[in-house]
Structures are given as C-alpha cells and as structure tokens.
C-alpha cells in the first residue's frame, strides 16, 4: 500500500492552493471570485523512495548543478528519478527516455531550490504544529493510524523525519505562492461573459460532445472472489438503500454514511464533467433519466452502484448544487498566541460546548476574531468552492450537528460546526460566481507559470558535467 501525500516530485503547479484577500469579513469563507483551489490535504501518491523500496547506497557523488551557491548532487537526481519511475509504474504510465526524464527531474529540483530560497528570504515558516496537523490529515485520508502509516512509509525507505520535512517544504512553497502570485489574479465580468460565449459556441458546434452531467454515486462494494452468499447479501443491502432514498431519505447523507466509494465524503457527488469521462456503465444507465432521478442498483465487478442524476449542462455550469450551513470560531496567531495554544483553547471550547457548559454561539460572540462573531460565527449557506480548501475539506467530512477538531488555515485556527446541508437550484448570479472560480483557476495557473519563469531567470544556475 502506498501512502497518499503531496509530493514535490514532478507534481504540477495545481497542487498549490490559491490565496484569499485578507480583508474578507468571514475569514473561513472564500470571498466572491476566489477560485476552488486544490486541497491542502495530501492527494497524490507518494511513491517509494527507490524502485526496490529501500534507499540505494551510492559510494560516490558529485555536483550536477549550483543554484545561487546551493548545490544539487547526482544522488539528489537519482533518488528523485527512482521515485518518479516508481510512481509512473504504479500508474501504468509509459517510461520516457532516461535522458529526457533526468533532464526534467533536474529542472524540477532547480525550481524547487529557487522557491525554497525565495521563501526563506521572505521569512516564511511552517511550524511543527502545522506539519503535525498535515500528517494527521494524510493518515485520515488513508484511513490508517499515524504509526501504521510511518511504518509503511519506512518499508518504502521513507523515514518519519523525511516525510515531515517534505510536507513542511510543500506547505512552505504553497505559502510562497499565496503571497507572491495568487493575490494578483482578478476576474472581471467581461472575462465571465467571454467564457460563456466560448461555451455556447462549443455547444453549438458539437452539442453531444459538450454535454456534461453530474452524478451522485453510492457503491455497495463486493469483495473480489466473494461467495454467492456475500454477493446476495450486498445486493439486499443495495436494494434497501434504494428503497430508503426513494422513500425520502437524503441521497447525499446516505452516501456519506453507507457508500464504499472514494467520493463518499463528498456525498457521492462525482462532479460536472463530460459524459465520456464517466464509466460507460454509468452513462448508459442514466442517459435517458431525468434530473433528480435515482437508478440502480447496477452491478459491476466492484459491486452494486446506485446513481442519482444531479444535473445536466451544456455550458459546463451546474444548475443544482449541494450547500452547507456552517458556523465557526476563529483565533488568530501572533506574538501572544502560538498555534499550539490556539488549538488548546479551541479544544477547551469544544469540550465546554459538548458538555453543555456553553453554546457555540455564545463562545463565538465572545472569542471569535472574525467578522461573523456578532452572528454567533454563522457563515450562512455556501456551496463547494466558497471556502478555502483546507476549511472546505473539514466541512465535507462533518455530519450535521458535528463539531470539528481545531483546524489550522491560512487565516488562523478554526473550530467548525456543520449545521445542515441542502440541495438547491442555483440562481444566475450563483452560476456566474461558479464560472468566476473556473476562469480564475485558469488565470492562476498561467500567472504561476509566468512567475516561475521570472524567478528562474533571476536565479544564478550553473549546470556541471559529471567528472571524467
């Protein structure tokens, strides 16, 4: 089993999150026009340290590049190469020529070195508490205890210290991008109108190709090689789930509680995408089904699937969305309050709320350092993309009424409570805001690429030939 985590090795710039204006009145909430940034929580496979799962012993080493007086060695390149090869093999990807891959890996190491140097010059830091919280997030995503995770990483040649250092580096680079790039990107109403015009043109030219659907998905898994009795028991379970949903039970809450699929925490929502990006089995089962209808159970080698047609679109913009009603308490760190102390205070608030000694609203009004404090921390109803990524991930994991553990975000330390969820039809304004998110994400990647080129051009980089 490979532990899933963010990795700097040949990962696209999209793994870095977008920043929000600090003046937002509700600091857990994404201001209008901010993009749905990728999650801070680890989401790509961290490959083995070497192809054989153990660090390779090398008797000799030499410098292959110097970046502003800091060296990159041949061993650095070889270790990264082995990890990239292992990741590509795990994904079934074709291996490029050795010379091309080595060149790409070296250039990536150069860019990482430049970013780390820039972050250090700006005084950016990631303390131990933030790293520990990121580690917990990795373990939770992999549904494994932290110690078991470290043990499995060690089997792949990755020590606990190395793993924490890599997470720290990635978080540091993310904070660098937030400061230097993302706040510069703006999306105008003209940009949105242009996007809509392009989508309409594409729909007219090829309506079938541009049609998109959003499906809700519940999987009742059947283990490989299961007996006939096990298969029948899982089918009975799936049939019961369908009956409950058609009897009025909420599909998305049912998915969170009962689905064995990876998208269960998102209420089974698979997202608005072209039909050809869905399994053919799902498309065939739902192509003549009205929006809002539920079909299934449908049998596949994985088990029994229950599907809900959440939305259909010809412009890439959903007309229906699931919204969450959230409130929070925010504490900001500074010279008088460390991250650890802020987390301890929020833990105490959580204990007092759950024991009935205080209410969430009263503690938010008294202690929260956010514009929502006067409303008892109430952030109102919001759909996907309205919160910063690290905040939104926690919201998605909560059940109505549940209170989170303290969460560290770019704004401070939060205590979050999910009040309720609902499915709503989006207004034209809300649809335009979703388009704003899409357009801004494209602009962010372009701006980040330009910034990286500028940083590269300013750096002194010397490549060296291997010794003869």
Domain annotation covers residue 374: yes
pLDDT of residue 50: 42
Q: Is the pLDDT reported for residue 42 higher than 50? A: no
Question: Comparing 171 with 207, which gets the higher pLDDT?
Answer: 171
pLDDT of residue 320: 74
Kindly state the tokens that stand for 52.
């054989």
Please indicate, yes or no, whether residues 221 and 269 belong to a single structural domain of this protein.
yes
Please indicate, yes or no, whether residues 72 and 110 belong to a single structural domain of this protein.
yes
Beta strands 70-73 and 212-221, pairing class:
unpaired
Domain annotation covers residue 395: yes
258 and 241 in contact (C-beta within 8 Å)?
A: yes
Please indicate, yes or no, whether residues 27 and 162 belong to a single structural domain of this protein.
yes
Q: In Å, how far are 65, 138, 173, 262 from 74, measured between CA atoms?
A: 9, 30, 23, 39
Q: In Å, how far are 174, 273, 296, 387 from 410, measured between CA atoms?
A: 10, 30, 42, 12
Give the whole-number percent of the chain exceeding pLDDT 90: 29
Please indicate, yes or no, whether residues 296 and 381 belong to a single structural domain of this protein.
no
Gyration radius from the chain CA atoms: 24
Residue 307's closest CA among 334, 345, 328, 278? 278
How far is C-alpha 128 from the chain's CA centre?
Answer: 21
User: Which residue segment(s) compose the domain that 409 sits in?
Assistant: 321-425
Please indicate, yes or no, whether residues 51 and 159 belong to a single structural domain of this protein.
yes
Confidence of residue 67 (pLDDT cuts 50, 70, 90): very high
Beta strands 461-463 and 63-67, pairing class:
antiparallel
Please indicate, yes or no, whether residues 234 and 150 belong to a single structural domain of this protein.
no
In angstroms, the CA 442 to CA 431 distance is 17
Please indicate, yes or no, whether residues 145 and 180 belong to a single structural domain of this protein.
yes
**Boundary residue ending a domain (313, 347, 378):** 313
Please indicate, yes or no, whether residues 108 and 153 belong to a single structural domain of this protein.
yes
CATH number at residue 217: 3.10.50.40
Please indicate, yes or no, whether residues 305 and 234 belong to a single structural domain of this protein.
yes
Please indicate, yes or no, whether residues 102 and 250 belong to a single structural domain of this protein.
no
Domain annotation covers residue 251: yes
Question: Phi/psi of residue 82, each to 5°?
Answer: -65, -40
Residue 375's closest CA among 334, 425, 323, 419? 419
Query: Tell me: the pLDDT tens digits for 128-185?
Result: 888 888 888 788 777 788 899 998 888 877 889 988 988 888 888 888 888 888 878 8
pLDDT of residue 34: 34
**What is the chain's mean pLDDT, rounded?**
80
Domain annotation covers residue 381: yes
> What average pLDDT score do residues 268-292 get?
83
pLDDT of residue 315: 59
**Boundary residue ending a domain (288, 313, 338):** 313
Residue 431's closest CA among 381, 378, 380, 385? 385
Q: Is the pLDDT reported for residue 449 higher than 60? A: yes
Domain annotation covers residue 204: no
The pTM (predicted TM-score) of the whole model is 0.57
pLDDT of residue 431: 76
Domain annotation covers residue 459: no
Query: Tell me: the pLDDT tens digits for 313-366?
Result: 755 566 777 889 999 999 998 888 888 899 999 999 999 999 999 999 999 999
pLDDT of residue 270: 85
pLDDT of residue 204: 58
Question: Comparing 250 with 438, which gets the higher pLDDT?
Answer: 250
CATH number at residue 151: 1.10.4030.10
pLDDT of residue 347: 93
Residue 423's closest CA among 377, 394, 384? 384
Please indicate, yes or no, whether residues 372 and 294 belong to a single structural domain of this protein.
no
Question: Comparing 9 with 244, which gets the higher pLDDT?
Answer: 244
Please indicate, yes or no, whether residues 299 and 343 belong to a single structural domain of this protein.
no
Domain annotation covers residue 461: no
Look at the chain and report how many structural domains it folds into.
3
439 and 195 in contact (C-beta within 8 Å)?
A: yes
Domain annotation covers residue 197: no
């Amino acid at each position: 089993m490979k532990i899933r985590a963010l990795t700097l090795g040949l990962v696209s710039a999209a793994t870095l999150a977008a920043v929000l204006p600090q003046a937002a009145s509700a600091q857990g909430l994404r201001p209008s026009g901010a993009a749905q940034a990728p999650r801070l929580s680890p989401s790509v496979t961290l490959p083995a340290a070497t192809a054989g799962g153990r660090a390779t012993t090398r008797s000799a080493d030499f410098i292959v590049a110097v970046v502003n007086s800091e060296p990159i060695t041949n061993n650095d390149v070889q270790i990264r190469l082995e990890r990239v090869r292992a990741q590509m093999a795990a994904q079934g990807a074709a291996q490029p020529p050795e010379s091309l891959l080595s060149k790409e890996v070296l250039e990536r190491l150069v860019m990482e070195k430049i970013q780390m140097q820039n972050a250090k010059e700006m005084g950016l830091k990631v303390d131990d508490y933030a790293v520990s919280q990121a580690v917990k997030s990795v373990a939770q995503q992999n549904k494994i205890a932290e110690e078991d995770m470290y043990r499995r990483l060690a089997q792949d040649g990755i020590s606990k210290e190395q793993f924490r250092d890599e997470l720290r580096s990635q978080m540091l680079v993310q904070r660098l991008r937030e400061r230097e790039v993302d706040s510069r990107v703006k999306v105008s109403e003209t940009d949105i109108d242009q996007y809509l015009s392009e989508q309409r043109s594409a729909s007219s030219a090829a309506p079938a190709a541009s049609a998109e659907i959003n499906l809700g998905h519940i999987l009742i898994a059947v283990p490989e090689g299961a007996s006939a009795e096990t298969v029948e028991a899982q089918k009975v379970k799936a049939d019961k789930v369908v009956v409950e949903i058609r009897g009025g039970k909420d599909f998305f809450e049912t998915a969170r509680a009962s689905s064995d699929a990876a998208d269960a925490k998102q209420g089974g929502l698979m997202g608005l995408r072209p039909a050809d990006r869905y399994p053919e089995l799902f498309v065939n089962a739902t192509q003549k089904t009205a929006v809002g209808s539920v079909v299934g159970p449908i049998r596949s080698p994985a088990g029994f699937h229950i599907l809900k047609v959440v939305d259909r679109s010809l412009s890439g913009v959903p007309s229906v969305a699931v919204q969450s009603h959230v409130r929070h308490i925010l504490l900001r760190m500074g010279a008088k309050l460390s991250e650890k102390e802020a987390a301890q205070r929020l833990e105490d608030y959580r204990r007092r709320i759950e024991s009935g000694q205080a209410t969430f609203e009263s503690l938010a009004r008294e202690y929260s350092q956010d514009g929502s404090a006067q409303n008892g921390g109430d952030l109102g109803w919001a759909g996907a993309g309205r919160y910063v990524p690290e905040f939104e991930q926690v919201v998605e994991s909560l059940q109505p009424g549940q209170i989170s553990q303290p969460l560290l975000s770019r704004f401070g330390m939060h205590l979050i409570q999910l009040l309720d969820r609902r499915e709503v039809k989006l207004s034209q304004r809300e649809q335009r805001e979703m388009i704003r998110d899409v357009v801004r994400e494209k602009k962010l990647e372009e701006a980040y690429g330009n910034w990286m080129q500028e940083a590269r051009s300013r750096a002194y980089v010397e490549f060296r030939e291997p010794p003869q």
